[in-house]
Amino acid sequence: MRVIDSHTAGEPTRVVIEGGPDLGTGPLAIRAARLWTDHPDFGPSTLCEPRGHDAIVGALLTPPSDPSCATGVIFFNTVANLGMCGHATIGLAAVLYHMGRITLGVHRFETPVGVVEVDLLSPDRVRAKNVESFRHLKDVTVEVPELGRVSGDVAYGGNWFFLSKHDAIPLDFARLSELTSATIAIRNALERNGITGAGGAYIDHIELFGPAHGQADSRNFVLCPGGAYDRSPCGTGSSAKLACLVADGMLAPNETWVQESIIGSTYDLTYVPGNTGIIATIEGAAYVTSETTLLFSNDDPYRTGIRA
């Protein structure tokens, strides 16, 4: 299998350019579902140790159903698909440019949750226009045994998020393991209490906010599906954050919001109104880090990755 790796604001993406599974034809959302039903070992083989690690997001290229798109893409991590992925969209644009498949300028990518538009400003600087983001629930409170009462909003930015200003643990890089345990406890409590996104959607991302350490408007810590945290400010999570700010009347169209991640990297975000929510634009930098052929020996006991 041939892959090209990059990172966007510190968060890794692995684009599968050759050797991925055949998902057949049909709408991209159906093909994306087949990735785990028909090929359950593909994600862990490609991303888990010993060939990767659980923070990597995969991007499987597949033909688009919409001919105006440069490619179709299915984002996945070691445990599940992601509907959209902001950092991986930015990384994908940088990788396709590196491969000579796209030029600088505007291109469309089809994801299982809608078409996103990227503007490749330079070989490593990308502005990505996300699918529509919106707030679903405001000020939900949940009892978390390990933490007490935690309040936050439920919002969609291409994935489902619970966004909270819970400040018991400072958003410091040195507190990563406590932040990870706390956000896993919040996610479990939401599930136990039946708190979901629209239509019963599982909330698989938890996002905590606090004051920026640098010049940004805010700092975040984002737990991704599974147990990894986002090194970047999370494109879909920042879009969900903007939707909440806009719903509270705190951000005007085209005003820039700078979101800082737990490692101090930043995205510049703006929005325009959508049909019921907002269309967020995420601008950040991505760098190609390697071109690799992954090998899978039949004798290798960890052929399909090291898993719990």
Active site members: 85, 234
Sole binder of ligand PYC in the list 5, 54, 207, 230 (CB under 6 A): 230
Site for ligand PYC in 139-198 (CB under 6 A): none
Q: Name the segment binding ligand PYC (CB under 6 A); options: 33-41, 92-100, 164-172, 232-240.
A: 232-240
**CA pair distance 169, 178, nearest whole angstrom:** 7
Question: Which residue is associated with the tokens 């350490």?
Answer: 213
CB of 142 to ligand PYC, least distance (A): 22
**CA pair distance 108, 12, nearest whole angstrom:** 21
CB of 13 to ligand PYC, least distance (A): 9
Using CB under 6 A as the binding criterion, the count of chain residues that bind ligand PYC stands at: 12
Sole binder of ligand PYC in the list 6, 232, 270, 281 (CB under 6 A): 232
CB of 96 to ligand PYC, least distance (A): 17
For residue 53 the two structure tokens come to 């690690």
Cβ nearer to ligand PYC, comparing 57 with 142: 57
CB of 11 to ligand PYC, least distance (A): 6
Peptide bond into 40 cis (omega under 30): no
For residue 225 the two structure tokens come to 């599906």
Site membership for ligand PYC, residue 126 (CB under 6 A):
no
SS3 63: coil
Sole binder of ligand PYC in the list 17, 57, 102, 243 (CB under 6 A): 57
For residue 20 the two structure tokens come to 């991925």
Compute φ and ψ for 69, nearest 5 degrees: -95, 145
Site membership for ligand PYC, residue 224 (CB under 6 A):
yes
Please name the residues in contact with 218: beta carbons below 8 A apart, sequence gap of 6 or more.
Answer: 209, 210, 211, 212, 241, 257, 259, 260
Instruction: Tell me the angle at which helices 86-98 and 235-247 cross, rounded to the nearest 10 degrees.
Output: 130
**CA pair distance 243, 223, nearest whole angstrom:** 19
CB of 55 to ligand PYC, least distance (A): 8
**CA pair distance 226, 202, nearest whole angstrom:** 13
Q: What are the E-state strand segments in 25-147?
A: 57-62, 71-76, 81-82, 105-111, 114-122, 125-144
Cβ nearer to ligand PYC, comparing 164 with 238: 238
Question: What Rg do the C-alpha atoms of the chain give, in angstroms?
Answer: 18
CB of 238 to ligand PYC, least distance (A): 8
Tell which residue, 144, 102, 133, has the closest CA to residue 234. Answer: 133
Site for ligand PYC in 234-273 (CB under 6 A): 234-236
Give me the 7-26 binding string for ligand PYC, x by CB under 6 A, dash otherwise.
----x---------------
Site for ligand PYC in 63-102 (CB under 6 A): 82, 85-87
Using CB under 6 A, list all residues that contact ligand PYC.
11, 57, 82, 85-87, 224, 230, 232, 234-236
